[in-house]
Amino acid sequence: MIGHRNQKNTRLDLILLALIFSALAYLGYRVTMQLQYTWHWSVIPQYLFRYDEQQQRWVANYLVLGLLTTLRLSIYAGIPALLIGLCMALARTSNSLFLQMTGRTYIELLRNLPPLVIIFLVYFFLADQLTPLLGLDELVMHISPQAAHMLAVFVAPPASLSAFLSAVLTMAVFEGAYIAEILRGGIEAVAGGQWEAAHALGLTRGQTLRHIILPQTFRQVLPPLAGQFISLIKDSSIVSVISIQELTYQGTQLMASTYMTIEVWLVVALLYFLLTFPCSLLLGRLEQSYAEKPF
Amino acid sequence: MSVVTNNSNEKQRKGVTMCNRIFFYIFFILFSLTATSGLFCAPFVQAGGLQQKIAAESVIEQIIHRGTLRVGMDIFVPWAMKNKKGELIGLEIDVARRLAEDMGVKVQFVPTRWSGIIPALIADKFDVIIGGMSVTPKRNLKINFTRPYYYSSQGLLANIKMTRGFTLKDFNRPGVTLAARLGSTAALAAKKNFPLAKLRLFDDEPSAVQEVRNGRVHAMVGSQPLPAQMAADNPGLLKAYPEQLLKEPICFGVRKGDVDALNFFNNWIEIQHSRGWVRQRYAYWFESTAWKKEM
């Protein structure tokens, strides 16, 4: 089908390409020649990985550690966000007025506040009330060294656990609102006849959702849901304001220590791209396999 | 007949949706009100309890009980910065390590953005600020300060091309643009010494220095020895003025209402002063460049 499109480059394309390249070259010239900046690219690799003399092996240094924290943050926030989103979307489309109101209030409240403001509110007000309630600090203080090591590898170092959890919570809650809207759109897009047919067959509401509605919904919403997940990875950079040591924060720290502004941000941008681009490819493939499969 | 019933049905339905909408608004407003009032009241309710708690057990007791001293700081070269291995080094890091050693506890650094470091201390994200913080009356209204352990001064770092023939007075003119770090004493010194110049604030010092290099601002104000060291690294491009703009005492910051902590820290500082230890570390970080090997 795609083969019908004209794939040949015209002369206009070539001219445009040449123009774009010369503009880029000019920009590159400006940056290298006119910007008063001394480049120190050779120092960057040691901030990705370094050779540890005590352990006699290569270990990740803080840009890579930051990347791993970003990854953990995205995964741990993504799963509850999907669950919250699903619950709220179901509440929003349910027959009970109370549930509809709850769902709508949640979605409207969180979608209409900037994430940065929510993060500050949670970090400075709510987290202080929640952590003593859960007794987290006490718990973390008394765990064994092995458990502490496991915690550091899979979640966060015990010392920064409560900050990490408040970041995860905030991200899950506000991404949940966007996911809820996406899912609600998907549920409402399923033809009304499907509900009626299920009802006629004697299925309960739960059965209808599980076997009829949600499978169709997920096929519908996969592209926007995938986009939302990728934007969750990128949005995780805003928790750097509450000093979570993820990639962006490590970038600011490294820049403040070494004064290598441009190199650091270029490397940070590259690392984010390395994280999100494979996700895009993977989700593209998933979409394709869904599209090929019949209902 | 049937038309009439249809019509009245529709009216009824409209009435119901209208009703729903009003119900939703009331629900939404009530929910928002309870949520926000909860948020605002919580700290005040807590404050009454907190004061009693602090009187009963000082932060010193908490540190001993926990076995770790949590220190709030941010990256400032050479006060605190990351070396090749990703470890923190610097004058303030030395001071905090020595303090923890003398208390017989471990030290844990909590890197926090400078602009938000006082709210973070108040919100109990760490026990004490040891980060080269100078006392200003405005800061002192929010938190307590110990006696000074050394004095810092602010210096001016200028772009040579843009400021040929400038004396210090020439910077206090409309049309001159200065840069400084947001929330720092340097910003205050700039306002005080050069009220007529335009001031641009940045979240970190490298950005401010880069603005001077690029010639977008005439000069930046920063804590000594940064201007002197930057000028030494970039001869022909940057120039530091020898004048000390604002000499200020550097102290630990602690939460209010904790007499025991103040007493302990004050006496610790006094002991280190009399042994000449602070003076010796100051000379290493500020007057020599031997530490540059570690970067």
What topology does CATH give the domain A40-292?
MetI-like fold (1.10.3720)
Q: What is the pLDDT of residue B24?
A: 73
Segment 235-264 of chain A within 8 Å of chain B by CB: 241, 243, 245, 249, 252-261
B189 backbone dihedrals φ, ψ, rounded to 5°: -65, -40
Is B154-241 the same fold as B59-151+248-294? Answer: yes
A246 backbone dihedrals φ, ψ, rounded to 5°: -90, -175
Q: Report domain extents, chain B.
A: 1-56, 59-151+248-294, 154-241
Q: Which of chain B's residues have a Cβ under 8 Å away from the Cβ of A65?
A: 86
295 residues of chain B, pLDDT tens digit each? 444 445 555 555 555 666 677 777 777 777 777 666 655 555 555 555 666 665 667 899 889 888 899 999 998 888 999 888 888 999 999 999 999 999 999 999 998 888 889 999 998 889 999 999 999 899 999 999 999 999 988 899 999 988 888 888 899 989 899 999 988 889 989 998 899 999 999 988 888 998 998 888 999 999 888 888 888 888 888 999 888 888 889 999 999 988 889 999 999 999 999 999 999 999 899 887 788 887 7
Asked if B295 and A241 come within 8 Å (Cβ–Cβ), the reply is no
Helix, strand counts (H, E) of chain A = 14, 2
Strand partners for A59: A50
* Domain at B154-241, CATH from 3.40.50.740, 3.40.50.200, 3.20.20.30, 3.40.190.10: 3.40.190.10
Asked if B123 and A128 come within 8 Å (Cβ–Cβ), the reply is yes
The span from the CA of B78 to the CA of A192, in Å, is 67
Assign A249 to helix, strand or coil.
helix
Whether B106 contacts chain A with CB within 8 A: no
Q: What is the pLDDT of residue A5?
A: 61
CA B246 to chain centre: 18
Q: Is A287 left (phi over 0), alpha (psi -120 to 50) or beta?
A: alpha
Whether B151 contacts chain A with CB within 8 A: no
Count CB-CB contacts under 10 A for residue A218: 13
The span from the CA of A18 to the CA of A24, in Å, is 10
Question: How many Å lie between the alpha carbon of A45 and the closest alpha carbon of chain B?
Answer: 10
pTM summary value: 0.76
pLDDT in tens, B42-53: 555 555 566 666
Listed residue (A221, A107, A277, A105) closest to A175, CA to CA: A107
Predicted ipTM beyond 0.85: no
- Tokens 């480059």 correspond to A9
The span from the CA of A78 to the CA of A75, in Å, is 5
Q: What is the pLDDT of residue B13?
A: 59
The span from the CA of B186 to the CA of B182, in Å, is 9
Listed residue (B127, B132, B136, B140) closest to B264, CA to CA: B127
Q: What is the pLDDT of residue A267?
A: 93
Find out whether the peptide bond into B119 is cis, omega within 30 degrees of 0: no
Q: Report domain extents, chain A.
A: 40-292
Asked if B111 and A261 come within 8 Å (Cβ–Cβ), the reply is no
Q: What is the pLDDT of residue A109?
A: 92
Whether A191 contacts chain B with CB within 8 A: no
pLDDT under 50: residue ranges of chain A: 1-3
Segment 53-82 of chain B within 8 Å of chain A by CB: 66-68, 70, 74-77, 81-82
Q: What is the pLDDT of residue B55?
A: 60
What topology does CATH give the domain B59-151+248-294?
D-Maltodextrin-Binding Protein; domain 2 (3.40.190)
Distances (CA, A) of A160 to A61, A242, B2: 18, 11, 69
Angle at A46 between CA A40 and CA A49, to 5 degrees: 150
Partner residue facing B206 (CB), from A52, A241, A255: A255
Whether B38 contacts chain A with CB within 8 A: no
**Reduced 3-state DSSP string for B24-35:** HHHHHHHHHHHH
